[in-house]
């Protein structure tokens, strides 16, 4: 069980009281940590072309199998990928792009 004095719930309940500097620092730290936790649970997906709704659904379904902690997704188009996609979740980056495959092949020839 976590210490209630360090929980965000406790900090928010203190908003009615006059905040002291230590309280404000604690609240700021809790908010920063909460934001970092939310960011680590978001999947950023770059695709070479605009995916259809059914392709987006399939990608999200596969993501939830691999990353059950994912709470949200964000899609963007990056034509420099040439084909395929790149997925970023927290510190993990999965590159299934044609551009990276071609770059790896080029390294093999040098």
How many distinct structural domains can be found in the chain? 2
**Cα 76-49-104 angle, rounded to 5 deg:** 90
Residue 33 has what pLDDT?
63
Statement: residue 52 has pLDDT above 90: yes
Task: Give the global pTM.
Answer: 0.65
Residues 51 and 104 in one domain: yes
Same domain, 21 and 49: no
**65-106 pLDDT, tens digit each:** 998 888 899 999 999 999 999 999 988 999 999 999 999 998
3-class DSSP state for residue 90?
coil
Q: Which domain holds residue 95?
A: 44-109
The answer to whether residues 81 and 48 belong to one domain is yes
The residue-averaged pLDDT of 45-56 equals 96
Same domain, 51 and 24: no
Give the tens place of pLDDT for each residue, 6-39: 566 666 666 666 667 776 777 677 666 665 565 6
């Amino acid at each position: 069980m976590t210490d209630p004095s360090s929980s965000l719930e406790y900090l928010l309940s203190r908003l009615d009281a006059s905040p002291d500097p230590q309280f404000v620092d604690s609240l700021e730290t809790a908010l920063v940590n909460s934001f970092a936790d939310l960011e680590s649970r978001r999947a950023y997906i770059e695709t070479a072309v605009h995916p259809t709704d059914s392709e987006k659904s399939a990608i999200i379904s596969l993501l939830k199998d691999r990353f059950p902690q994912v709470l949200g997704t964000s899609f963007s188009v990056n034509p420099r990928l040439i084909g395929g996609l790149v997925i970023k979740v927290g510190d993990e980056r999965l590159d299934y792009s044609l551009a990276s495959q071609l770059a790896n092949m080029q390294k093999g020839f040098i």
